[in-house]
Structures are given as structure tokens and as C-alpha cells.
Amino acid sequence: MDESARKLSAAQSSHGVAGDHGRHAHPAAAGAQRGGVVPPNLMEPIEDVEVRGHIIDSLILPKILDIITGAGGAFRIKNISIGQARNDVSYALVEVRADTEERLNDILAAIADHGAVRTTQTDCELVVADIAGAFPEGFYSTTNQRTEVRLDGHWREVARQEMDCGVVVDDEGIPHCLAMTDVKVGERIVCGHSGVRVIPQERSIERHGFEFMNSAVSTEKPKGTAIREIARELVRTKRTGGKTLIVGGPAIIHTGSGEHLCRLIRAGYVDKLFAGNALATHDIEQSLFGTSLGVRLDEGISVEAGHEHHLRAINRIRRLGGIRQAVESGVLTSGIMFECVKHDVEFLLAGSIRDDGPLPDVITDTLEAQRAMRDRIRDVTFCLMIATTLHSVAVGNLLPAWVKVVCVDINPSTVIKLNDRGSFQTVGLVTDVEPFLRALTQDVDELSAAKL
């Protein structure tokens, strides 16, 4: 049992657990700093915070207590009520203390991101932006979790939730996330943590198949079971009217997996595709020349002057004006990009500094590509990332915490990077692309036929 769990266990055993209904106050439950009980100091800065939800089984409360003590503060659980049934929420009233006002404010800011809300309710502070492309000093920095701000005495949900942004309140009083580069002079920006509360993403009450994947990234997870559950999610998303986003890398083409993805597109399981110049280029190269990076995928051998094929593919598409024009003119007749055009799958190609060409459809301005991605993920409910570190991290930064994300890569560091960046909802499968997509399409076909 870790330190936070021991503290919580001690508080519960000393002061009991509330019943099914309502809450009842308890005496001082625990106050820990450096392992010992800290007697209240009347001169210490003190603030009460409330935490609600599935704070025990989601380990939210223990995490908050760890942050308090780890930052040099102390706590006292003044009131705790623990839900007894699966659907019951829990509640804790925690007194937070620190030796200085500055340290207390730092602690309150840190635990606010985990759902701890001050009981002294005030409206959020709004500061008018004075410089385009920059927030006022002390702006509130967002997470990818549901957030509300208090305006005119009422809590309002922040729209377009995204991590590493600020919150702007528009002329109609609607708060929404805003990227730093999009700030305009005169906009009202939320500053500080007062009047802001975060609703942490909790475990699903209905256990879907992703539970088995929620362990640490490992090459030893049962691949067959994992792929079956991903297939089930694809089928479920289509049947419920959700939107599936595929974020793909060029390894899909290099490994000969393109046709598997084409099958999913034709069957209606892909609504959007985000990729870079490389995936589209080598997909078109394969369609026009039968090679990828100059290698014939059916024979695994390099062809004469094959290293020129991707450049010639790019040039041909540029001469035609774009991928859609190539399809409509009959030049491009197969491949992932062909299927996207034929089946109205929205695609977005974001470039990088190392791109050849690039294709005319590629957005070469990084900020414009980011804005385009941001606009097109609003209705995404499931995201499958396949063999691309750069674009997976970029999309992971934009997605809110309630969107299910699966990352499939032969390199476990891709998933680790996503989690380190804050995309904690991402679950990973470490495997090669071709066997994964082959098994996935088979499972999708079986589940679809069985109507499961």
C-alpha cells in the first residue's frame, strides 16, 4: 500500500464511512507532513477544497493527498462520504495548509487539475488580452479534462476542451479553449485558478473491453484479445453514429498493409484520416508504380531507378492539381487516398520540414495544420493511431480526455510519449502493423456478420 492509500485508509478506519445517503461530518481525520501529524497553526494559510465523484476507485483522492504533502503542505479530511454502490459518487472536504500563501496557492493550483475545488466560491478572473498571440501573465493553463468556469455566479462548461491552451470568454458569455497563437487583442482571458474547476475523467461504469488494456505498455499483452476489442470498438462506433479517426504513418504502406486499411474504408469504418506527406506519397507511388520507397512489395526487391518513384508520383499529382483531381481524371485508381476520395472520407495531410515535394494537398504551415486538425476532431469519438509518433503526439495533444484512443506501434516509446504528454486515456498495443491490420479487418468482418 502506498503512502496516499495508507493515509486514506487511516482516515476511514479512524472516523468511519458514511452511509448510502447524504454525508455526515467527521472529526479531524488526518494531517500528514513528513509522516507525522501537523497540529494546526492559527497563522498558517488555510483553504478548504471539495472533491466529488468516483474519487476512491479512480484513486483521485489519494493522488490529491500525495500532491499536497509532496509539495510541502498538510491536509485534514474534515468530512468524507463514500458511495456504496457502483453508481454512487463519493465526497471529501479537505482542509489544505501550507507555511506560506505562495506555497498554498501553488498546491491549490496543482490539485485543481485533479478536481479539487475551493469552497470559497468566486467568479473566475477575466483579464483583457493586450498583445495578439500571447495570453496575459497568470493565465489559466488548461488540461484535456472537462472544465467549468464560474461566471456571474453560475458554472459554465468550457467548450472545445484541449490541453495546453487558455480559456477565453466570448461576447456571448461562452467560455472555450483557445490556442496561444490565436489570441486577439481585447479578448477576455481567464486568469488564475479561482472560479475554475476540473471534472476528472473517471473509469467507465460500464466496463467495455478496453479494461484489459489499461495496464502499462507491454509487448506481452494478448494480441488476439486486444485486436478483437479494437475491432469491437470500430463496429460499435459505426453502429452508434460515432466518428472514427485514423492517424496513420507510412509504415502502413511500407509493410504492405495498405489494402487492409482500404477494406476498412470501403466498409465504412473510417470517417477521417490524418497523416503526413509520406503516407499519401508512398500510397500513390504504390498505385502508380507498384513500389514503396522503390521496393516492389509483392516481391520484396528494389527496382531499377526505384528511388525516383516517389518523386515522380508527387510530380504527377502536382501537375494534376491534387489528389482528388488525380482520382477524377482516372490517373489514380487504387490505394488509400483513392478510397478516401471515392468514399468521402475526410483526409488531412500535415507536412514537416523533411518532406519531399510535397503533395499539393499537404498543409505546410504548422500552425495552419494544427488549426485544421483542431477544427476536424470536434465530433471524433474513437481514434486509432497506427505507426506514427509525430502525428500521434500532435493529435493526442488536441483530443479531450473522454475520446477513446488506441495507439498501435512496434515501438513502445510512442505510447509512452503520449502518456507523458498528458494523453492518459491512450491505451497501447506494441506490435507490427501488417499482422495487426490483417487481424483487425478479419475480426471486423466477423463481428459485423455476427451483428455483435
Choose the final residue of a domain: 103, 120, 137: 120
- Distance from first CA to last CA of the chain, Å, rounded? 40
C-alpha cell belonging to residue 29: 481525520
Q: What is the pLDDT of residue 42?
A: 53
Question: In angstroms, how far apart are the furthest CA atoms of the chain?
Answer: 83
Looking at 120, 141, 170, which one is the last position of a domain?
120
Q: State the average pLDDT over residues 106-130.
A: 92
The predicted pLDDT at position 130 comes to 97
Same domain, 82 and 155: no
Average pLDDT over residues 320-335: 98
Distance, CA of 191 to CA of 141 (rounded, Å): 9
Distances (CA, A) of 188 to 161, 166, 192, 198: 17, 10, 13, 20
Residue 99 lies in a domain: yes
What CATH number did the domain enclosing 152 receive?
2.40.420.10
- Amino acid 20: pLDDT: 31
Number of Cβ atoms within 10 Å of the Cβ of 224: 10
| Three-state SS at 27 | coil
Residue 198 has pLDDT above 80, yes or no: yes
Residue 378 has pLDDT above 70, yes or no: yes
Say how many domains are in the chain.
3
Residue 212, pLDDT > 90, answer no
What pLDDT is recorded for position 412?
85
pLDDT for residue 445 is more than 90 = yes
CATH number, domain of 302, equals 3.40.50.10690
Does residue 337 have a pLDDT over 60?
Answer: yes
Q: Which of 12, 26, 9, 20 is nearest to 88 (CA)?
A: 20
Minimum mean pLDDT range among 12-26, 44-58, 328-342, 362-376: 12-26
Indicate if the pLDDT at residue 28 is higher than 60: no
Q: Identify the pLDDT of residue 208.
A: 46
Q: Are 163 and 220 within one domain?
A: no
Reply yes or no on whether the pLDDT at 56 is more than 90. no
64, 97, 120: which is the final residue of a domain? 120
Distance CA 69, CA 412 (A): 32
pLDDT tens for 130-151 read 999 999 999 999 999 999 999 9
Arithmetic mean of pLDDT, 62-89: 90
Q: Where are the alpha helices (DSSP H) in 246-388?
A: 251-254, 258-266, 277-289, 309-320, 323-328, 336-342, 366-376
Is 35 a residue whose pLDDT tops 50?
A: no
166 lies in a domain?
yes
Residue 234 sits in the same domain as residue 95 = no
pLDDT attached to residue 41: 54
Task: For residues 269-283, give the mean pLDDT.
Answer: 97
Tell me: do 252 and 144 sit in the same domain. Answer: no
Considering the domain boundaries, does residue 199 fall inside one? no
Q: Is the pLDDT of residue 126 over 80?
A: yes
* 218 band by pLDDT with thresholds 50, 70 and 90: low
Number of other CB atoms surrounding residue 245 within 10 Å: 25
**Assigned domain for 203 exists:** no
Q: Identify the band that residue 170 occupies on the pLDDT scale cut at 50, 70 and 90.
A: very high
**CATH number for position 36:** 3.30.70.2690
d(CA 150, CA 137): 20
Same domain for 176 and 46, yes or no, is no
Confidence of residue 297 (pLDDT cuts 50, 70, 90): confident
Both 38 and 158 in a single domain?
no
Q: Mean pLDDT over residues 204-224, rounded?
A: 54
In a domain, 202, yes or no: no
Please report which helix (H) or strand (E) contains residue 223, including its range. Answer: helix 223-239
Please tell me the predicted confidence (pLDDT) of residue 19: 32
Query: Residue 69 domain-assigned?
Result: yes
Q: How confident is the model at residue 452 (pLDDT cuts 50, 70, 90)?
A: low
- pLDDT over threshold 60, residue 3: no
pLDDT value of residue 422: 65
What are the helix (H) ranges across 30-100?
Answer: 60-70
383-412 pLDDT per residue, tens: 999 999 999 999 999 999 999 999 999 988
Residue 326 has what pLDDT? 98
Please tell me whether residues 243 and 356 are part of one structural domain. yes
Is 229 in a helix, a strand, or coil? helix
Do 316 and 409 reside in the same domain of the chain?
Answer: yes
Distance CA 5, CA 367 (A): 43
Which positions ≥6 away from 246 have C-beta within 8 Å? 261, 264, 270, 272, 273, 274, 383, 384, 385, 386
Residue 204 inside a domain? The answer is: no
> Which of 12-21, 56-65, 202-211, 324-333 is predicted least confidently?
12-21
Task: Look up the domain containing 114 and give its range.
Answer: 1-120
Q: Of 32-36, 120-124, 391-395, 417-421, where does mean pLDDT reach its minimum?
A: 32-36
Report the C-alpha gap between 213 and 233 in whole angstroms.
13
Buried b (16+ CB within 10 A) or exposed e, 77-92: bebbbbbeeeeeebbb
Is 18 found in the same domain as 108?
A: yes
- Whole-number mean pLDDT of the chain? 86
Reported as a pLDDT band with limits 50, 70 and 90, residue 83 is confident
Same domain, 29 and 89: yes
User: Quick one: 73 and 173 in the same domain?
Assistant: no
The confidence score (pLDDT) of residue 380 equals 97
Q: What is the mean pLDDT of residues 336-353?
A: 97
What pLDDT band is residue 306 in, cutting at 50, 70 and 90? Answer: confident
Mean per-residue pLDDT for 238-254? 96
pLDDT at position 203: 54
- pLDDT beyond 50 at 282: yes
Residue 12 lies inside a defined structural domain of this protein = yes
Residues 41, 158: one domain?
no
